[in-house]
Amino acid sequence: TIRAILFDLDGTLIDTDDAIINAWTERLRWLSPNPRRLLRRLIMASETPTNAFITLLDVLHLDDDLFSLNDRLRRLRGLRTPANFLAVDGVVDLVRTLATRYALAVVTTRSRRDTHAFLAQYHLDDCFGATITHEDTLRLKPHPEPVHRAAEALQVPVANCLMIGDTTVDILAGKRAGATAVGVLCGFGERAELEKAGADAILETTAELGKLLLI
């Protein structure tokens, strides 16, 4: 029985940053007839080693410097920064409804600052009983630690948790922790790779989660 829902942020609750995709599509056109697809695959391929690198920086206490620099670079390039997030269509109403029936948590590699800025922007702060960010765990997804931390914070057995995300690291983290895992196609992941990672179900968009849980 599902008692808690753990949400990834980017591509799951926050709309994928198409500014990055669009900016690089033209630059990669000489490499591929479908540079947008190529770019998404490159981003997906880099996610696990990137998370491992962030874990190393955390051990060395250098992660705050990295994320501070990243924010400055994003502002210089005109990309989305905190307080200017775009929610995936339908998720704001979905979250508010689910919060009346389930315990909710965010499990993300974003910073605590970004996470709370997004929740505050859409007035969702009170809907979530826990937010697990890159500052809150030693290991990042696809390691199961963030999922276990969220379950502990919500005081719900991990077997009664559902992890929902758009990439294979979300699915792998959920399954390795012992949770149910649902993939969504509104972010960077594709159906075949989410299925290969072991997703228990795959939805076109996060908003469709209501069809599974609000019956």
**In angstroms, rounded to a whole number, what is the distance separating the alpha carbons of residues 39 and 30?**
12
Sign, Cα dihedral of 179, 207, 150, 71 = positive
Write the burial class of residue 1 (CB in 10 Å: 0-12 exposed, 13-18 middle, 19+ buried): exposed
> Whole-angstrom Cα distance, residue 158 to residue 150?
9
Residue 9, classed as helix, strand or coil, is coil
Please report the pLDDT score of residue 111 as a whole number: 87
At 183, the amino acid letter reads G
* Predicted local confidence at residue 99, as pLDDT: 97
Is the full-model pTM beyond 0.85?
no
What was the pLDDT predicted at 53?
A: 44
Q: What is the reported pLDDT for 40?
A: 60
**Of 142, 148, 138, 145, which is closest to residue 61 (Cα–Cα)?**
138
pLDDT for position 35? 54
Which tokens is 2 given? 């599902």
Please list the ranges in the chain whose pLDDT falls under 70.
16-83, 215
The pLDDT value given to residue 37: 60
Nearest to 179 by CA among 155, 207, 200, 202: 200
pLDDT, position 212: 86
| Structure confidence at residue 46 (pLDDT) | 53
Which residue, 80, 94, 50, is CA-closest to 203? 94
Q: What share of the chain is helix, strand, coil (3-state, %, to 5)?
A: 50, 15, 35
Query: Could you report the per-residue pLDDT of 28-56, keeping only the tens digit for each?
Result: 555 555 555 656 665 555 555 544 444 44
Question: Both tokens of residue 47?
Answer: 């996610």
Tens-place pLDDT, residues 51-73: 444 444 444 444 454 455 455 44
Tokens 């299925």, residue located: 195
